[in-house]
Chain A
Amino acid sequence: MKIKDLIKNDAGFQYIIDSMDLMSAAGRNAMLNGTFCSDGATLEAEWDRLDEAIRATNDIPNRRYYIDLRHCLMCLHDLGGTFSSLANHMPLNEVELFEIKSLCALSRSASSAIEGLGLSPTLPLPDCSQPFAILDPDRTGIANFYIYDSYDPELPALRRKLNALQTSGGDPVRISELLARQNEIQNSVCIRLSDELRPWTDTLVKTMEQMAYADFLLARAELAIRWNLVRPALGSATSYRALFNPRVRQRNEELHLRYQPVDIALNDGVCLITGANMAGKTVLLKSIGTAQMMAQCGMYVPAEEATVRLVEGVATSIGDDQDEMNGLSSYASEIIKISHILEACRNSNLLVLIDEPARTTNPVEGKALVQAIIKILEHQPSITLITTHYGQLGTACRRLRVKGFVEDMENIPLTPQSINRFIDYSLTEDQSDNVPHEALRIASILQCDTEMIALAQESLK
């Protein structure tokens, strides 16, 4: 699974990717083609490199090297098309040859910046001095390019004649002839240079890829610093101290609202999350999904401390997927999705996040379906989190309850605007099989229709 596929179905992870400060289109491609990795050793090595990049980013005395490197990355062009022409024995034109020469010069500058930052072992760049020399016959060391006189013995005299005729307004026919001959020579030089460069194709491709990788790595380091992310440890269970959702935290900051990080520990098997409406159950599921993806895509995670149990994928059923266009109701598209998740769990270990399954059908059958889902997932080697409002499910699985409303925290009247201040988003182990009954209270806090609330209370008596 690539990052570009992951962000299609996950707005939270998309937000993370969009927050990356990349310098080049090539770097962005490297990021989007980054993979969701399930191999611990590979991830540890990746996080080691990220550690180094963070150290280099924070290295104030060597700041100029860091600025140099970011500037080099900003000048990086995606030469994929040029490299495939080269590999396919197509002659390159002057502009393409110039681009290759620029890349070689860029890698030289980037290398010295990387060395200045002490990052050479982390970001080794291939030596491009040979291909550069092919494109620099006069040994000027400058990254300009044209078909230099020294490439062909006929060129200097021909161009002297051309120059004399052009500047004196000479015979146009003779000028055309000289230009045609010059173009012939230039074309044959282009073919020759392409042939000389061809053995260096792999070196050049590797150079571009490494620089694109450097761009992605520095962007991850910058994000880790900006958001105070933490390097996760690997373990057989997942746990977070002060886990936060970057997107929701950002939104709350903009609205001057409080944001409360949560602690959570998850083992294999099913864990039910209960709690009142508005208590942040859905956000919790999304945060856990996003953190898992970040970790397994080689990033640090949004928490103060984290241990991650690696999975082969994150499967989610969150939100109302009703789509009138495909003719499926909310219930139908949800149950199809859950059925796919159950199928996937039988073959691989996943992080499964299901938000209020079967909430859009009748509660009798709905509850039976939730019981069935739990029964199936209980014995799979996956970590499953299910939020629900159904009580009395009669299953033995672990339950976590969001603490929810703490009305007496302050003597401020509850309003829809201030409601967020009266919710404790932390989790507590819950031994009972009951769920909070706070729907009517919340409706009344939200100042909903009083007759509706009164009638509902009446019928509950």
Chain B
Amino acid sequence: MPFISEILRHKSLSIVGLEKNTGKTVCLNYILHRMNQIGKHVGVTSIGVDGEQVDSVFATAKPEITLFRGTHFITSEKHYLMRQAVSKLVAVDSQRTSLGPLVTAEVLIQGKALLSGAATTGALKRQIEFLGSMGVDIAIVDGALSRLSLASPTVTDAMILATGAAVSANVKQLIAKTRHLYNLIMLDEVDETLQRKLNIIESGIWALDSEGEIHDLGITSVFLIDRSEQDILRFGTTLFAAGAVSDRLLKILAAKGSGITLIARDFTKLFVTQEVYADFTRRGNRLMVLQRSKLIAITLNPTSPQGFLLDSKSTCDALSEALHTPVYDVKMIGQ
């Protein structure tokens, strides 16, 4: 069975999708099933609302999540009361979501349930810690919509990326889009000294000089970069963006010249399109990250919500070849 032993080397795992309907839930069910077979204690939650019986955007049938005996799960009060598993409550959070407070329970008799979770990554981190305190071997976070923030290495230790026909029914485009995100996930990390130095910076754009000293460029937001009268490369060509990195920032830097290294916190802070990133690198510039996410596997859902079906084997092969990484069909591994 693929990637299960790899998952168990980590304390937390996120499952994120490139799009909706890329098979995150199927993948999660597969992992939960395997963990149950090998007797591992799993904690599971979600970010935001997920696990609807019917997909709220395309109204397609959605597979529910099956929770096994001994699993600790976090969901909202509303979804908890709708569960089909028999479980006992162990905690209720004091903060409320739109679906009531988040509750933590332990499964007594296996059954299906709907997962919802904390709406912010800060709250999600606390939930993961809480699951850890319940003694779980691994805490798994199911992604919602196309949110990526939960896959930040500051939130979860490892990730699985789900892609599929929902991204594009054209295999070439599907590969291009998946490869773009894959490239961002796989960006090189800076060395440890630099990591320590930059990690504590919370906002703004900073420069590194040749001595390795950091300087605040006084740019609080990318939107103000045009207003800055001084040359942003005055200290050197290595820059650190503590917040989000947008197309706009890459374009401005690409126009300044070549040989620029821009360091972002992690790939979830990168909001850059394929074209702009390609232009940025073509001019001899480079993106790096403070921390790289550990990508365990890529899964493919060959069915699109509109009913379009890709050929599973050839698409998986084409993706594997393009990304030099194993790609699994979620429906097949789920069997």
Contacts and interface: CB of A to CB of B under 8 A. Distances in A.
Interface of A: 24-25, 77-78, 93-95, 98-99, 102, 144-146, 159, 162-163, 166-167, 179, 182
Contact of A159 (B77, B86, B92, B105): B86
A166 B111 contact: yes
Contacts of B77: 93, 95
Contacts of B105: 146
Contact of B92 (A99, A162, A167): A99
Interface string B24-65: 000000000000000000000000000000000000000000
B92 A95 contact: yes
Given A77-B92, A144-B88, A145-B88, A167 B110 contact: yes
A94 B89 contact: yes
Across the A-B interface, the 4 shortest Cβ-Cβ residue pairs:
A146-B88, A98-B89, A163-B109, A95-B77
Contacts of A163: 109-110
Contacts of B84: 179
B109 A166 contact: yes
A148 to B, nearest CB: 9
B315 to A, nearest CB: 30
B224 interface: no
Contacts of B92: 77, 95, 98-99, 102
Nearest to B90: A144
B86 A146 contact: yes
B200 interface: no
Contacts of B86: 146, 159, 162, 182
B328 interface: no
B85 to A, nearest CB: 8
Contacts of A102: 92
B94 A25 contact: yes
A179 B89 contact: no
Contacts of B89: 94-95, 98, 144-146
Contact of B80 (A24, A95, A99): A95
Contacts of B94: 24-25, 77-78
B101 interface: yes
Interface string B201-239: 000000000000000000000000000000000000000
Given A25-B94, A93-B81, 17 more contacts: A24-B94, A94-B80, A95-B77, A95-B80, A95-B89, A95-B92, A95-B100, A95-B103, A98-B103, A99-B92, A102-B92, A144-B106, A159-B109, A162-B86, A162-B109, A179-B111, A182-B86
B87 A146 contact: yes
Contacts of A77: 92, 94
Where chain A touches its partner, the secondary structure class is: helix
B180 to A, nearest CB: 40
B interface, size bucket: 20 to 34
9 contacts: A24-B94, A95-B80, A144-B89, A146-B88, A146-B105, A159-B86, A166-B109, A179-B111, A182-B86
A194 to B, nearest CB: 15
B111 A94 contact: no
Interface string B92-117: 10100000110101101111000000
A179 B109 CA distance: 11
Where chain B touches its partner, the secondary structure class is: strand
A25 B101 CA distance: 14
Contacts of A146: 86-89, 105, 108
Contacts of A159: 86, 109
A98 B106 CA distance: 13
A24 B95 CA distance: 11
Interface string B163-184: 0000000000000000000000
Nearest to B94: A77
A179 B101 CA distance: 24
A95 B93 CA distance: 11
A94 B90 CA distance: 12
Contacts of A95: 77, 80-81, 89, 92, 100-101, 103
Nearest to B78: A95
A167 B109 CA distance: 9
Contact of B81 (A94, A144, A166, A179): A94
Contacts of B80: 94-95
Contacts of B110: 163, 166-167
Q: Which of A94, A99, A144, A163 has the most CB of B within 10 A?
A: A94
A182 B77 CA distance: 19
A164 B109 CA distance: 9
A25 B100 CA distance: 16
A95 B101 CA distance: 9
Nearest to B85: A166
B50 to A, nearest CB: 20
A99 to B, nearest CB: 6
A179 B103 CA distance: 21
B97 to A, nearest CB: 13
A144 B108 CA distance: 12
Contacts of B108: 146
Contacts of A166: 109-111
Contacts of B90: 144
Contacts of A162: 86, 109
A261 to B, nearest CB: 37
Q: Which of B92, B100, B103, B106 has the most CB of A within 10 A?
A: B92
A163 B70 CA distance: 13
A459 B87 CA distance: 88
Contacts of B100: 95
A167 B111 CA distance: 9
A119 B84 CA distance: 46
Nearest to B76: A95
